[in-house]
Amino acid sequence: MNGAPDLLNVEDVVFDYVLPRRDLFGSAPVRRALKGVSFRLADGESMGLVGESGCGKTTLARLVMGLARPTKGRILFKGQDLARLGPKALARLRPGFQMVFQDPYGSLDPRRRVEAIVAEPLVGLGRDRRRAREAKVADALSAVGLKAGDGRKYPHEFSGGQRQRIAIARALVVRPALIVADEPVSALDVSVQAQVLNLLRKLRADHGLAYLFISHDLAVVRYVSDRVAVMFDGSIVEAGPTEPLFAAPRHPYSRALVAAVPGGDRRPALAVAGDASHPRSEPAVPDEGCAYAGVCPYAADLCRRERPRPRALEPGRLVACHRAEEI
Amino acid sequence: MTGVPLLRIEGLRVELPTADGILRPVEVVDLDLAAGERVGLVGESGCGKSMTARAVMGLLPPGARARGRVLLDGRDLIAMDEAALCRLRGRRLALISQEPLTALNPVKTIGAQVAEGMRLHFRLTRREAAARAAELLDRVGLPTSRFPLHLYAHQLSGGQRQRVAIAMALACGPDLLIADEPTTALDVTVQARTLALLEELSLERGMALLLISHDLSLVAEACGRIAVMYAGRIIEEAPSGALFGHPAHPYSDGLLAAIPQLQASAPGGGPAPLRPIAGEVPDLRHRTAGCGFAPRCRLADAVCHGSSPPLEARTGDRRLACFHPLAEAKGR
Amino acid sequence: MSDAWIELTARARGNRKLVIGGAITAAFLALALLSLVWTPYPATRMDIASRLSGFGAAHWLGTDHFGRDVLSMLIAGTRNSVAVAVVAVGIGLCLGVPLGALAAARRGWVDELMMRISDVTFAFPALLSAVMITALIGPGAVNSMIAIGIFNVPVFARLTRGAALRIWSLDFVLAARTAGRGGLAITWDHVLPNLAGLIIVQATIQFALAILAEAGLSYLGFGTQPPQPSWGRMLSDAQTLLFMAPRLAVLPGLAIAVTVLGLNLFGDGLRDLLDPKLGNAGDGP
């Protein structure tokens, strides 16, 4: 971290989903999706968030975007606690952080023209007059490689890759400081994926954007991010600069993830008992102890008793594992 | 390849009559599979790989017609009537597909579903079938001690359901298993394990595997040979190592250059720059007479736009459909 | 956009239900309009001298026991049915759709309250309750509009809420929220336009039901009062004359049946036509 003021500060965030009630009395059961997550993002920094389904990365993205409030903990954007802001104050901050979604078909309103879609964040702000808005929309469209004339068309006239560019233009039009991208290329073909990834890199360089880039695809995250955090079952298990982390992951889960990517030695991935251990209807993990202990090949008694907190193995590299030094 | 291949696809075409005219999701496919061999069929959306799988199984969507021949041990599946195909499905060839959510019947127990095929093809009693179902589920990594036969689909995770689907596909010991994007909806670590399982089963039972995916790296791990499809045709087919090492078709080359790598690095450190392929995959309705890839190909010329190159055998056990292949010596 | 319209009209023409239903509905509406300016005879004029005459040149469909021209009464009855149905469905739309949209946007206790109210309303059998309401507040066309309208509200509220909930979960609504738009703006700009098709289809169905309900109320004497002509009342008047002049019952009955059938076909055809295009945001290509 380069000493610059933090753009985004996530402090010990906990989030519970309320589940449908089982019985009439007593409180409704909850599922703890985030179990105390903390990290910081500076201006212009790009951080990747990787993990498999159920790890909480999408929930975290929604919280960072202020679309939901954390059950505990704080999320600070430019020093302001999002949960404490009223709707008007939040709306004023909005241009600072925008989001790009996974589904290029669902993230654009099929009944509106592209120019209206891209202009929407500006309309929400309510600051510019129409001509100024139109100019900004045209700028945003050309920044993502589309033509100004494309604004008159409807989403269904575009392909998946182009729609994702439109979504990026929409995020860009208010000149945000931070873009949260939730699996932005997962639904795209490989050849198109590369186009959009290159575009994201270029935009970052041109506009000094910070990214919070969420993906299950490690190689994609590597391409776009300076730092990475690996999540498992609601916690960050390892975090650090991208290259060293992927080259030599320290946490057993990170190792399993890296090994699972086709092309390398797969054995660490296969060693994890993972999904074959029990049906979904049974609780997967006890509340105490390391969440990963149930399937970790290195699990010891300590691991099952006590939840490991992230600690710095080297400057800048955090690992939440009791046995990180030994393995 | 010695002897008669287990599966021979000859001149397969799939036609789909629509309001916009007759569409051809599959223009022409010729492919052989030997017994016990694992072959990957790779391509992006709209290339026709899934349609090819369905045509082999005789499970095309209503209105679609298959032409050409699909020979399983010499018998043409396309010419067969539905009754004969039913006798083969499950017994000689099986299919698992992408969505484990819908592959399992939500109101039947997993035991019943695995046993279903066996009771149909082998006329086993319920007890015998249940015993064999338990063995199969055990083999795919769902031991009955933790996953009793009376569980329902909604009690299982995606990866677990896919394993049940695999057990169902294996139940009658098919000679050929077609796996259509079997791991796309699954987590990465689960994906690795599921593929490893498919490989083991193929080796153990001498079962041929046709693995269909959009993920080239994934297929390269599991399969000895890969066929790359684009716009309804196979444009290159080669042993996995050879394809990765020196792709001969500009599309294969472009695809490999566009895939982000986790391990490989650029000379100065950090990830290698991605080189995307310009343009987009052509829509089914806008195919031209020339090579399907020509609009996006940097080597394309008038010949390429004029006619579609035929798939021809080349050196090194490779087949290629291109007028301007890349030099064979190019390394990666 | 013109391409989409061309395709839409082409599909419309190919859809038989739509064409037939549409033709019947259009004829029905045309007659209603026509009756404002002309009917063969004034529908209320009694001509005792020619009472109970059969099909003939002077009176094409004959006359009833008061000498009123049956054809004119049928045509004027159209106007009556349309008026009641339009207002009743209009009440349902104007109250039900906003309520449903509000429930979907706000969730929480607002949602619960509205849904419970609509549950309670559903619990009462519609026609009987309409009878009870008109018995309480007095019979008449206006009151039957209100009574039928009340029962349309929960139908539209439910429909809107369910469809709106689905749309709220889609990514483009999420994108609008991150753009800083509020619930009202999102409902107006994103949710309602994507529901339009669904609501239109339901409205045609409710229209048919409203016509039936009005006929039922009039038959029982609670709806349109004499001397205003109404199909339902023609039916009840014809009861005692069933063996003498069966056409007096058959003709209005046929009018009701054909109109309702036409509307139902039209609604079905509309649904076939519109559903894949409108009203289903978030589908793939």
With contacts defined as CB-CB under 8 Å, which chain A residues touch B271?
219, 222-223
**Contact call for residues B262 and A263 (beta carbons, < 8 A):** yes
Measured between its terminal Cα atoms, the distance across chain B in Å is: 27
Alpha-carbon span B184 to B97, nearest angstrom:
10
pLDDT at A176: 93
Find the mean pLDDT for residues C219-244: 86
CA distance A204 to A211: 8
Give the tens place of pLDDT for each residue, C160-179.
999 999 998 888 888 888 77
Shortest CB distance from C281 goes to which of A101, A110, A125?
A110
User: Do residues B46 and B284 make contact, with C-beta atoms less than 8 angstroms apart?
Assistant: yes
Distance CA B213, CA B52 (A): 12
Structure letter (DSSP) for residue C240: G
Q: Minimal Cα–Cα distance from C124 to chain A, Å? A: 27
Strand extents, DSSP E, B83-232: 93-96, 176-180, 208-213, 225-230
Q: Please tell me what DSSP assigns to residue B152.
A: B
Give how far C186 is from chain A: nearest CA, Å: 10
pLDDT at C1: 45
Query: Strand locations in B116-185, DSSP E?
Result: 176-180
Asked if B36 has any chain A CB less than 8 Å from its own CB, the reply is no
CA distance B301 to chain A (A): 22
Backbone Cα Rg of chain B: 21
Give the residue from chain A lying closest to B47, CA to CA. A189
Closest chain B residue by Cα to residue A256: B189
Q: Does the beta-carbon distance from A276 to B160 stay under 8 Å?
A: yes
User: Nearest residue on chain B to A284, judged by CA atoms?
Assistant: B157
* Cα of A242 to nearest chain C Cα, Å: 28
Q: Which of A106, A121, A124 sits opposite C172 (nearest CB)?
A: A106
Contact A87 C182 (CB under 8 A): yes
pLDDT category of residue C197 using cuts at 50, 70 and 90: confident
Q: In a 3-state reduction of DSSP, which class is residue A305? A: helix
Cα–Cα distance for residue pair A180/A59, rounded to 1 Å: 12
Write the single-letter amino acid at B202.
Answer: S
pLDDT at residue C89 is higher than 90: yes
Chains touching chain C, criterion 3+ CB pairs below 8 Å: A
Domains located in chain C, CATH noted: 28-37+55-274 (1.10.3720.10)
| Share above pLDDT 90 across residues of chain C, in percent, rounded to a whole number | 22
Instruction: Note the pLDDT of residue A286.
Output: 54
> What are the chain A neighbours of C174 within 8 Å (beta carbons)?
67, 99, 101, 107
Beta carbons within 10 angstroms of residue B102's beta carbon: 11
Mean pLDDT value of segment C196-212: 91
The answer to whether B262 faces chain A, any CB pair under 8 Å, is yes
A&C contacts, CB < 8 Å: 82
Query: Which tokens hold the place of A249?
Result: 């992951």
- pLDDT per residue of chain A (327 residues) written in tens, 0 to 9: 444 568 899 999 999 988 877 777 777 788 888 998 999 999 999 999 999 888 889 899 999 998 889 999 999 999 889 988 888 888 888 888 999 998 888 889 988 999 999 999 888 777 778 888 899 999 999 999 998 888 999 998 888 889 999 999 999 999 999 999 999 998 888 888 999 999 999 999 999 999 999 998 999 999 999 999 999 989 999 999 999 999 999 999 999 899 888 876 666 666 665 555 556 544 445 567 788 887 788 888 888 888 888 888 888 889 998 888 877
Determine contact, residues A318/A239, Cβ cutoff 8 Å: yes
A243 vs B269: CB contact, 8 Å cut-off?
yes
Say how many CB pairs under 8 Å bridge A and B.
139
Give yes or no for C276 touching A (CB within 8 A): no
> Interhelix angle for C141-168 vs C97-106, to 10°?
30
Inter-chain CB proximity A195 and B276 less than 8 Å:
yes
Which tens digits make up the pLDDT trace of C22-55? 899 999 999 888 888 888 888 788 888 878 888 8
Q: To the nearest whole angstrom, how far is the Cα of C178 from the nearest Cα of chain A?
A: 6
Alpha-carbon distance A160 to A104, whole Å? 6
Q: Do C180 and A121 touch (CB under 8 A)?
A: yes
User: Which chains have 3 or more CB–CB distances shorter than 8 Å to chain B?
Assistant: A
Domains of chain A in sequence order: 6-20+29-247 (3.40.50.300), 248-327 (no CATH)
Cβ contacts of A157 on chain B, cutoff 8 Å: none
Is-contact C80 C141, C-beta < 8 A? yes
Sign of CA dihedral B178, B181, B186, B192: positive
Interface of B with A in 273-312 (CB under 8 A): 273-277, 280-281
Per-position b or e across C234-257, b if 16+ CB within 10 A of its CB: bbbbbeeeeeebebbbebbeebbe
Q: Which chains are within 8 Å of A by 3+ CB pairs?
A: B, C
CB atoms within 10 A of CB B146: 12
Q: ipTM of this complex > 0.85?
A: no
DSSP E strands, B19-165: 21-33, 38-42, 65-72, 75-76, 93-96
Per-residue pLDDT of A309-321, as tens digits, reads 888 888 888 999 8
C3 touches chain A (CB under 8 A): no
Q: Over 50: is that where the pLDDT of C282 sits?
A: no
B324 vs B328: CA distance, rounded Å: 11
**Nearest CB neighbour to B155, from listed A193, A197, A279:** A279
* Helical H segments across chain A, by residue range: 57-64, 87-93, 114-125, 130-143, 160-172, 190-207, 218-224, 242-247, 252-260, 267-271, 301-305
**Residues from chain B contacting residue A195 (CB–CB below 8 Å):** 276
Under 8 Å between Cβ of A51 and A229: no
Q: What mean pLDDT do residues C226-230 have?
A: 85
- Supply the pLDDT for residue C268: 86
Structure confidence at residue C3 (pLDDT): 59
Q: Which residues of chain A have a CB within 8 Å of the CB of B269?
A: 243
Strand pairing of B208-213 and B176-180?
Answer: parallel
Interface of C with A in 144-173 (CB under 8 A): 170-172
On chain A, the residues whose CB falls within 8 A of the CB of B44 are 189-191
Residues in chain A closer than 8 A to B161 (CB atoms): none
Tell me how close the Cα of C33 comes to any Cα of chain A, in angstroms: 34
DSSP state of A99: E
Q: Minimal Cα distance from B262: which residue of A?
A: A219
Is residue B178 within 8 A of residue B94, CB to CB? The reply is yes
3-state secondary structure of C46: coil
Closest CA of chain A from B127, distance in Å: 24
Chain C CA closest to residue A110: C281
Give yes or no for A123 touching C (CB within 8 A): yes
Beta-carbon separation of B262 and A191 below 8 A: no
Chain A residues contacting B via beta carbons under 8 Å: 52-53, 159, 161-162, 189-195, 197-198, 216-220, 222-223, 243, 246, 256-264, 266, 269-270, 272, 274-281
Option in B45, B187, B216 nearest A216 (CB): B187
Average pLDDT taken over every residue of chain C? 84
**A165, A191, A192, A251: which to substitute to probe chain B, counting the most B Cβ within 10 Å?**
A191
Alpha helices for chain C (secondary structure H): 2-14, 16-37, 70-91, 97-106, 108-123, 126-137, 141-168, 171-178, 183-186, 192-220, 231-238, 247-274
- The reported pLDDT for the residue numbered A278 is 59
Q: Which residues of A touch C282 (CB under 8 A)?
A: 103, 105-106, 110
Q: Which residues of A touch C180 (CB under 8 A)?
A: 90-91, 94-95, 121, 124-125
Calculate how close chain C gets to A240, using CA atoms only, in Å: 29
C-beta separation of B55 from B25 below 8 A? no
Lowest average pLDDT, out of B1-5, B241-245, C73-77, C186-190, goes to B1-5
Among candidates A103, A124, A170 on the partner chain, residue whose Cβ is nearest the Cβ of C181: A124
Distance from CA of A318 to the nearest CA of C (A): 31
Portion 204-223 of B in contact with A at CB < 8 A = 214-218, 220-221
3-class DSSP state for residue A131? helix
- Inter-chain contact A223–B260, Cβ cutoff 8 Å? yes
Per the document, the length of chain A is 327
Query: Residue with structure tokens 């007479």?
Result: B289
Q: Could you say which residues of chain B have pLDDT below 70?
A: 1-3, 328-332
pLDDT confidence of residue C276: 56
Give the H/E segment covering residue C107: none
